[in-house]
Structure 1
Amino acid sequence: MKPLASLTLFGMLCLSTTASAEVALNLPENVKLLAANGKNTEDSNSVELPDGTNQIAVRFKGELKASRNDFEIMSSDVFVVTFNANNTRLSMQPWNIHKAAQLKEFNQQPKIVLTDSHGKTITRQIDKLEKEGFQLMRDYARELAAFNKSDSPAALKLTAADKQPQTFSRQPVASHQPAPSQQAQQSEQAQMAEQMLYYWYNQADQETRERFKAWLKR
């Protein structure tokens, strides 16, 4: 192969590698992604992010032991996690929440650890995304925009020359995909239905809950 051709091929390979570089993040069971880089997301346990600084909002949701014979579906506070990583696969370590008391302790002192593909702990900043009052529906994108103007260590500070990082998506867009406004409406309706389901489940007695669980397994 001629030297010039070799250099050209090497340059193409470098460009290809740079273009495909990304950060894959996996979350543990019962930890849901609510927003990534200022955009609301569907509940998910994994996401692909661009290289560099990223910011996510996450929370725990699961069935926890509330008393000796009683279990309830509970959610943690929402936490903002800001970190920097490049071309790697990250894993968030399990939150180890099994009881209501552990959830309360976690809300007060969150232990959120990110490790890369080599098992190395990634430096990250954590803070709580506070919201007062009833929390049936939340717009995390709007809350994060306000949060990032605060002096929180987890705030994502961008200069005028910076561009807000975007999340990657490898899924093809279907030709019948609904309009953004319709998608937002469907997402809000689904979230409201989910919150109502959790509410009525927690209002029911243990016998009713067991019947409901049996129905789900059919």
Structure 2
Amino acid sequence: MSKTTSLLFALSIGIPFTAMADVTLQIPEGVDILAINSQQPEKSVGLFASDEETLKDGLNQIVFKYSPSFMVGTDLKQAYSDVYVVKLNAKDTELSFKLPDYRSVNEAKEHIENMQWSLVDKQGHNVVVAQDKLKKNGIQIGRDYVAEIKEYNLNGGIAAMNSALVIADQDHVATTVVSNSTQVNKAPVVNTTVSNLNQLKAWYKKSSEQERKAFRKWIVDQE
């Protein structure tokens, strides 16, 4: 259905067209989307996988990896990036990955660990708010990325998505009904202190020694 048809349909039934806006994530060859907002992707996996996913407007979190392929003689060789956690902010637009274009599998294997990449909207603006790597010790086969990202979010990683925001979005209709009721239950209290502390710890562990010294000096100056 085209944008024009969608608009006419929305107007005919009295629904604001802005409510139908969304974000389209284009998935290039070599990119695997492993989780979206702590859930399995809907369209980019399976036998008839799509090369795009639809995200809600506003904040989203995706988990992905990049595995470019190369023909070496008659063999297909691949290089594998780390698994990235990305928190992004976009509205009613189309997003595209900007990834390195390696000339050979050897070049890819040498540089992919520290690859430079971005995620941009139709105007070319980078929509990434925060990024991190989803690390796992030991054997990497058969990873449960949904379970891993849920744990990552609970631990308050750099690119963590507040689980309360995800739940609120999934249960938006029910939440709206309750909020308009004459008898409203109190919302659960979110321990933001613990969440902020975990995030500070994560940042501190990933920072360089020079950054840690500067941070400690700043803390002392605040006392």
Alpha-carbon spacing, 1:59–1:16, altered in 2? closer, same or farther (3 Å): same
Q: Where does residue 140 of structure 2 map in the other structure?
A: 135
Q: CA deviation at 1:164?
A: 5.2
Determine what percentage of the aligned residue pairs are the same residue.
29
Deviation at 1:48, TM superposition (A): 0.4
Higher RCO structure, 1 or 2 (CA under 8 Å, sep 6+)? 1
TM-score with structure 1 setting the length:
0.60
**Closer, same or farther: CA 14–92 of 1 in aligned 2, 3 Å:** farther
How many residues matched? 156
Q: State the 1:74 CA deviation.
A: 3.1
Distance 1:16 1:85 in 2: 19
Aligned residue for 2:79, secondary structure, equals strand
Aligned partner of residue 77 in structure 1, secondary structure: coil
Alpha-carbon RMSD? 3.3
Mapping of residues 33-72 of structure 1, within 5 Å: 33-41=33-41, 42=45, 45-64=51-70, 72=77
- The DSSP-based 3-state class of the residue aligned with 2:62 is strand
User: Equivalent residue for 2:24?
Assistant: 24
Cα deviation per residue 1:175-216 (whole Å; 9 max; x = unaligned)?
A: xxxxxxxxxxxxxxxxxxxxxxxxxxxxxxxxxxxxxxxxxx
- 2:113 is aligned with 1:114: no
Question: Which residues of 2 match residues 56-205 of structure 1 at below 5 A?
Answer: 56-64=62-70, 72-97=77-102, 98-107=104-113, 109-159=114-164, 163=168
* SS of residue matched to 1:100: helix
Report the CA distance between 1:86 and its aligned residue. 0.9
Q: Are the aligned partners of 1:22 and 1:51 in contact in 2 as well (CA < 8 Å)?
A: yes
Q: Is the Cα–Cα contact under 8 Å of residues 79 and 127 in structure 1 kept in the other structure?
A: yes
Measure, in 2, the Cα distance between the counterparts of 1:162 and 1:104: 40
Q: Which runs of 5+ in 2 are unaligned?
A: 1-9, 172-223
Following the alignment from structure 1 to structure 2, what is the Cα–Cα distance between the partners of residues 69 and 51?
44
CA shift, 1:52, in A, is 1.1
CA contact (8 A) 1:40 1:141 kept: yes
> CA distance change for structure 1 residues 23 and 160 in 2, over 3 Å: closer, same or farther?
closer
Specify the SS of the correspondent of 2:147.
helix
TM-score, normalization: structure 2? 0.59
In the TM superposition, residue 12 of structure 1 has moved relative to its aligned partner by: 7.2
Contact 2:30 2:69 in 1 (8 A): no
